[in-house]
Amino acid sequence: NNVLLFGPPGTGKTKLARQICVGTVGADQYELVTASADWSTFDTVGGYQTTSENRLKFEPGVVLDRFQADAKGMPANEWLIIDELNRADIDKAFGSLFSALTGESVTLPFDDSDGDPIEILDATRTDTLVAPNRYFIPEDWRMLATMNTLDKTSLYEMSYAFMRRWAFVPVGIPDLPAREDGDDSALESLVADYVAVWAANGGVPKADHHYETVGRIWRAVNDQRAIGPAIVEDIYEHVAAAPSTETADYVSPIIMYVFPQLEGLRRNELEHLIEKLEMIVDDKTGELWTVAR
């Protein structure tokens, strides 16, 4: 099946999809696109476009474009990553691809410049000659897609017919250790593991005096709304240079990076969260409450 990675924001779904493609088919053998509410089959499958000679010519969309290497129609096998898949109106954008996604051959309602019908052929059609109007889908070709679960109810829904053509793989957040007898050393150790990766990849300093506070913020937010480590990294980067937790500005990154993820929380849930955050970061100015209101 094609693979759809879903989970909370900031869990690295897109990066994981990239790494899968690089590790499987190579860095130059895949394409990343972002879905849009404006998508139609013109964007995914293709359609007629006017040439400089004022003639209509079929141009492949982002999906079909993965299967031909040149103007002669030589087969290709580039994988496709579709970021934020459910931002597209699925039936409008993928309707004519439903059968092709299950390995069936499809003839599209388009002709090439020679008048030959555009065909999507499955991997079993090895006896068919290569031609510019034929798009061969290799058996090992895959689409990968990502979906933010927080957007699931506010964007386009997926039909069951479309969903059964995908394997849904959850990309979750780690289990954050609970506080035991006033000790958060386990949580601090978890944040330290993440900081080690961030420091290796992006040059973020290792400031262990911030680990516990950052971890407590993460755990408090997750009690109401799950967020991934990428958002926590933004918070950490903002405070890492501060020499102590007393001089660090934790309020600003919470407002900048966490608050946008809290849309849709009930008032009592938001109030409960801010009370916990206020105790963690000692917001003397009351800015958390002001912005939340």
224-263: pLDDT as tens digits:
999 999 999 999 999 999 999 999 999 999 999 999 999 8
Out of 35-44, 153-162, 253-262, pick the least confident. Answer: 153-162
Instruction: Tell me the one-letter amino acid at 274.
Output: I
**Which pLDDT score is estimated for 142?**
94
Instruction: Tell which phi-psi region holds residue 185, choosing left (phi > 0), alpha (psi between -120 and 50) or beta.
Output: alpha
Which alpha helices (H) appear in the chain, and where do they start and end?
13-24, 41-44, 90-94, 98-101, 160-163, 185-202, 211-222, 229-239, 251-253, 267-281, 287-292
**Eight-class DSSP state of 53:** T
Q: Which residue has the higher pLDDT, 154 or 249?
A: 249
Phi first, then psi, for residue 173 (nearest 5°) are -110, 160
Rounded to whole angstroms, the Cα distance separating 207 from 240 reads 6
**Which pLDDT score is estimated for 286?**
92
**Which pLDDT score is estimated for 151?**
63
User: 82 with 35: CB under 8 angstroms?
Assistant: yes
In the predicted structure, residue 125 carries a pLDDT above the cut 90: no
In the predicted structure, residue 154 carries a pLDDT above the cut 60: no
Average pLDDT over residues 55-77: 91
In the predicted structure, residue 122 carries a pLDDT above the cut 80: yes
In the predicted structure, residue 155 carries a pLDDT above the cut 60: no
Rounded to whole angstroms, the Cα distance separating 128 from 122 reads 11
pLDDT-based confidence at 152, cuts 50/70/90? low
**Which pLDDT score is estimated for 156?**
58
For residue 247, with 0-12 CB atoms within 10 Å meaning exposed, 13-18 middle and 19 or more buried, which class applies? Answer: exposed
Out of 25-39, 51-65, 222-236, pick the least confident. Answer: 51-65
Average pLDDT over residues 107-126: 88
Average pLDDT over residues 285-290: 94
**Which pLDDT score is estimated for 153?**
53
In the predicted structure, residue 202 carries a pLDDT above the cut 90: no
**Which pLDDT score is estimated for 169?**
95
**Eight-class DSSP state of 183:** B
- Sign of the C-alpha dihedral computed for residues 156, 81, 257 and 214 taken in this order: positive
pLDDT, the chain, mean? 90
**Which pLDDT score is estimated for 217?**
97
pLDDT-based confidence at 128, cuts 50/70/90? confident
